[in-house]
Chain A
Amino acid sequence: MAFQILLNVFIAFVWMFLSNSFSSATFIIGYLLGLIMLFMLRRFFTSRFYLGRVWAVIKLGGIFIKELVAANVAVLKVILKPKLDLRPAIFEMETELKQDWEITLLSLLITLTPGTVVVNVSEDRTKLYVHAIDFDNIDDAVDSIRSTFEKAILEVSRS
Chain B
Amino acid sequence: MKSNDLILQTSTRVVFFIIFLFSIHIFFAGHYTPGGGFVGGLLMASAIVLLLLAYDFKTVKEVLPFNYLAMTAIGMLIALTTAAGSLVFNVPFFTHWYDYFDIPLLGKTSIHTAMFFDIGVYLVVVGITLTIIEMIGGDN
The number of residue pairs between A and B whose CB atoms lie closer than 8 Å in the complex comes to 25
Stretch of A48-56, A83-91, A116-124 on the interface side: A116-124
Contact of A104 among B2, B3, B6 (CB under 8 A): B6
Complex contact B10–A104 (CB within 8 A): yes
Within 8 A of B (CB), among A97-150: 100-101, 103-104, 107-108, 118, 120-123, 125
B3: nearest chain-A partner, CB-CB: A120
Question: Which residues of A have CB within 8 Å of B6?
Answer: 100, 103-104, 121, 125
Q: State the CA gap A108–B6 with chains docked (Å).
A: 12
Which B residues touch A118, using CB under 8 A?
Answer: 7
In Å, the complex CA distance between A108 and B3 comes to: 17
* CB pair B11 A104 closer than 8 Å: yes
What is the distance, in angstroms, from A123's C-beta to the closest C-beta of chain B?
6
Residue of B nearest to A99 (CB): B10
Asked whether B4 lies within 8 Å of A122 as measured between CB atoms, the reply is: yes
Task: Give the chain A neighbours of B10 by CB distance below 8 A.
Answer: 100-101, 103-104
Question: Please, which residues of chain A bring their CB within 8 A of the CB of B4?
Answer: 120-123, 125
User: Which residues does chain B contribute within 8 Å of A122, judged by CB atoms?
Assistant: 4
Residues of B near A100 (CB, < 8 A) are 6, 9-10
Tell me the bound Cα distance from A118 to B7 in angstroms: 10
Contact string against A for B residues 1-19, beta-carbon threshold 8 Å, 1 for contact and 0 otherwise: 0111011011100000000
Question: Would you give the shortest CB distance from A80 to chain B, in whole angstroms?
Answer: 31
